[in-house]
Amino acid sequence: MKNLRVLFLGDLVGKPGLRALFVGLSSLVKETAAQLVAVNGENLAEGFGLTPEDMDKLFSMGVSMITSGNHIWQRDELFPMLDSEKNLLRPENYPPGVPGHGTAVIEIAGRKIGFLNLQGRERMGLSVDCPFRSGKKAVSRLREQTKCIIVDFHAEDVREKEALFFSLDGRVSAVLGTHTHVPTTDERILPGGTAVITDLGMCGPEDSVIGTKPELSIRRSLTQLPIRMEVHDAPAALQGVLLEIDMETGKALRIQRVCRVPEAS
């Protein structure tokens, strides 16, 4: 296998996102001829976190890699899985001693592809280790096994995301932004052969405020009270990108945005 086609989907939000994935993933894989599917799963459990049952459902649907971000810590019952399930990632750049791991390598048709999960520091409300330094160290380790590496950079700040793009250009196959739930139109391949996009968007309800009920977001903005957001129960879109990677060089050959609204989602 010379080239690998990877379907990487954005933040999966609640039951609407899960329904859309259940209904639409198989046909989307056939349409794109994807050979591997990855998804950011940190918002599946009512918008906040991931349960072990959620994880099992994703793997049973054909997802090979689950990445995450700052909300992965909101379901304590998942902590043992973060340690034991090699294809479930939390951001690499958390301090030592927390559960889980931020890198993994998958073998497909005798070839290896690495995954790295990082979290940004700008406007995220948490103090984590530097994603640039942690990322470079992790990439060096992964490149001992493969040149094909995909990075999920879970971050809020566009400047920080774009800086990481160029920091890792030529060292990884792709750097894909997640977290904001809004797909951007800046997908491109940098001079060193790294495919990038600022945000993949989400697998979640379209007529919503980043997946949540609009009326709650309006009330929160008007009152400035810490009203808990709830997932909006509405038809959902599957958003992300299709990557094509040269398995010999690790360079990206193609990045294409994907957006589908499965029927009866």
Give the type of residue at 1: M
Nearest to 24 by CA among 12, 42, 81, 67: 12
- Catalytic-role residue among 71, 154, 181, 232: 71
Count CB neighbours of 218 within 10 A: 12
Residue 71 catalytic? yes
> What are the structure tokens assigned to 156, written together?
């809020």
Strands (E), 92-173: 103-108, 111-119, 149-154
Please say whether the dihedral angle defined by the alpha carbons of residues 161, 29, 55 and 87, taken in this order, is positive or negative: negative
* Residue pair 256/241 in contact by the 8 Å Cβ criterion: yes
* Residue pair 244/5 in contact by the 8 Å Cβ criterion: yes
Q: What is the largest CA-CA distance in the chain?
A: 56
What are the two backbone dihedrals, phi and then psi, of residue 66, each rounded to the nearest 5 degrees?
Answer: -115, 120
Active site residues: 71
